[in-house]
């Protein structure tokens, strides 16, 4: 088989491969057209010169970039990030008008800024949910931690606002909803309740009264049995020892831990 026949066959194979991917239609068309252009040549060298002197010299790299931009545009459109998708669309249209603009990369920074903004929104939204759960499960015995969590909740809500996102809008967006691992009823309760936690965290008055009553009852029982409790402490203190030991991890997955330098300390 002549070199020119091999070259034509190679270009047709590349056209087929690109066409089959579904994401490289421009490249597929370019390689097929180039194979057609080469059919009138006697040698691969002649075909190379013909391509170099035609509009097809840069066509494959141009088509590659156009396909890449189209794929990015479609991906971000499907993921409901239209502003990011528009950056890739505008660049693709710019290249179609002026091939030389393919070497200008400013669009990448513009797209990255927008993607970073979505990432910040995701981080702030999941942070809001974590604070919500913490406050929902808060206890009167850790009031300081609850106040700190309440402050973090406000910070995350402010972060959303600073980057131009509204909590209600984000909460209604399916891509952010998927970040929250809860059922629909619990999620709906979260959306309706979390903003009230900024100023009015969960009411723990009933829990306070219950804990205080149990504490008072425990003190009463302890006072009645003070002597027997102290005696039990004196007897059991003699039996209690503290042990310090160094644990060495195994050399292999199948191995076991070993314990060295054990030291027993009596109270």
Among 82, 108, 134, the domain-final residue is 108
Domain boundary among 56, 80, 108: 108
Output the pLDDT for position 201. Answer: 65
User: Count of domains in the chain?
Assistant: 3
Same domain, residue pair 129 and 189: yes
Answer for the pair 80, 175: CB distance below 8 angstroms, yes or no.
yes
Looking at the fold, whether 21 and 102 belong to one and the same domain comes out as yes
**Contact present, 250 and 236 (Cβ < 8 Å):** no
Q: With contact defined as beta carbons under 8 Å apart, do 262 and 244 qualify?
A: yes
Question: In the 3-class helix/strand/coil scheme, how is 84-139 assigned residue by residue?
Answer: HHHHHHHHHHHHHHCHHHHHCCHHHHHHHHHHHHHHHHHHHHHHHHHHHHHHHCCC
Q: Is the same domain home to 94 and 122?
A: no
**Domain stops at, among 176, 198, 220:** 198
CA distance 175 to 51: 47
The per-residue pLDDT string of the chain (267 residues; one tens digit each, 9 = 90 and over) reads 588 888 889 889 989 998 888 888 898 999 998 888 888 888 888 888 888 888 888 888 889 999 999 999 999 998 888 999 999 999 999 888 888 888 888 888 999 989 898 899 999 999 999 999 888 877 655 677 778 888 899 999 999 999 889 899 899 988 899 999 889 999 999 998 888 888 776 666 666 677 778 888 888 888 888 888 888 888 887 777 778 889 998 888 888 898 888 777 765
Instruction: Report the alpha-carbon distance of residue 30 to residue 7 in Å, rounded.
Output: 14
Q: Which two tokens stand for residue 245?
A: 């030991």
Q: CB-based contacts of 13: which residues, under 8 Å, 6+ apart?
A: none
Residues 101 and 134 in one domain: no
**Per the confidence metrics, is the pTM higher than 0.95?**
no
In tens, the pLDDT along 102-151 reads 888 888 899 998 989 889 999 999 999 999 988 887 765 567 777 888 88
Three-state DSSP class for residue 264: strand
Domain that holds residue 265: 237-267
Same-domain status, 123 and 166: yes
Same-domain pairing of 79 and 157: no
Name which of 17, 15, 52, 21 is nearest 36 in CA terms.
15
pLDDT in the model for residue 171: 92
Helix axes 25-38, 59-78, angle to 10 degrees: 160
Residue 2 phi, psi (nearest 5): -70, 155
- And the tokens for 28? 């597929």
- Per-residue pLDDT of 191-219, as tens digits, reads 988 888 887 766 666 666 777 788 888 88
């Amino acid at each position: 088989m002549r070199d020119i026949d091999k070259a034509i066959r190679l270009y047709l194979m590349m056209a087929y491969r690109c066409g089959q991917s579904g994401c490289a239609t421009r490249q597929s068309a370019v390689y097929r057209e180039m194979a057609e252009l080469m059919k009138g040549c006697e040698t691969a060298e002649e075909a190379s010169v013909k391509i170099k002197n035609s509009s097809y010299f840069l066509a494959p790299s141009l088509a590659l970039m156009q396909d890449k931009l189209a794929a990015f545009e479609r991906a971000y459109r499907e993921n409901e990030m239209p502003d990011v998708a528009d950056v890739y669309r505008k660049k693709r249209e710019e290249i179609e008008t002026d091939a030389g603009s393919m070497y200008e990369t400013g669009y990448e920074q513009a797209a990255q800024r927008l993607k970073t903004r979505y990432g910040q929104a995701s981080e702030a939204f999941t942070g809001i949910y974590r604070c919500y759960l913490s406050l929902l499960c808060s206890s009167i015995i850790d009031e300081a931690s609850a106040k700190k969590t309440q402050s973090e909740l406000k910070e995350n809500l402010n972060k959303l606002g600073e980057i131009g996102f509204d909590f209600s809008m984000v909460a209604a967006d399916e891509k952010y909803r998927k970040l929250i691992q809860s059922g629909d009823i619990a999620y709906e309760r979260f959306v309706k309740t979390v903003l009230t936690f900024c100023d009015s965290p969960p009411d723990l008055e009933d829990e306070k009264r219950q804990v205080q009553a149990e504490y008072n009852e425990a003190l009463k029982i302890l006072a009645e049995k003070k002597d027997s409790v102290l005696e039990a402490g004196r007897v059991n203190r003699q039996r209690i020892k503290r042990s310090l030991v160094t644990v060495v991890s195994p050399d292999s997955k199948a191995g076991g831990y070993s314990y060295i330098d054990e030291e027993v300390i009596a109270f």
